[in-house]
């Protein structure tokens, strides 16, 4: 029931998974981005997913196959840490 009430405010795991790469690219609207940030602050599973995606992007970047458009992993990490602190 609680999760139903929170739904407009917090993205689901599925939604977060679907939007993770857009989230990293900064391609999301403010509202969706916030919902995903709130979800990431609560969901260990999706944070792990985000981290593995960041590692993948970092590896790709070190191979020189993509441009430096995504935030540096350390920056994203700092953002997630900050969200976690704010939410508690
Ligand atoms: Zn999740």
Domain map (residue ranges) of the chain: 2-65
How many angstroms is it from 22 CA to the middle of ligand 1?
16
Euclidean distance between CA atoms 24 and 57, whole angstroms = 10
- pLDDT-based confidence at residue 37 (cuts at 50, 70, 90): very high
How many angstroms is it from 64 CA to the middle of ligand 1?
30
> Which distant-in-sequence residues (6+ apart) come within 8 Å of 6 by Cβ?
none
Tokens of 19: 């939007």
Tokens of 50: 């985000």
Which of 59-66's residues contact partners 24+ apart within 8 Å by CB, and which partners? none
How many angstroms is it from 40 CA to the middle of ligand 1?
7
Q: Tell me if 35 sits within 8 A of 10, measured CB to CB.
A: yes
43-87: per-residue pLDDT in tens?
Answer: 999 999 999 999 988 888 888 755 556 666 677 777 778 877 876
How many angstroms is it from 14 CA to the middle of ligand 1?
7
How many angstroms is it from 45 CA to the middle of ligand 1?
5
Euclidean distance between CA atoms 72 and 48, whole angstroms = 16
The model's pTM is 0.62
């Amino acid at each position: 029931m609680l999760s139903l009430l929170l739904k407009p405010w917090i993205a689901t795991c599925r939604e977060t998974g679907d939007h993770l790469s857009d989230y990293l690219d900064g391609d999301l609207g403010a509202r969706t981005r916030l919902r995903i940030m709130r979800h990431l602050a609560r969901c260990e599973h999706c944070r792990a997913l985000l981290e593995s995606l960041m590692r993948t992007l970092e590896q790709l970047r070190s191979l020189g196959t993509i441009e430096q458009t995504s935030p540096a992993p350390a920056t994203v990490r700092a953002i997630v840490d900050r969200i976690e602190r704010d939410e508690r």
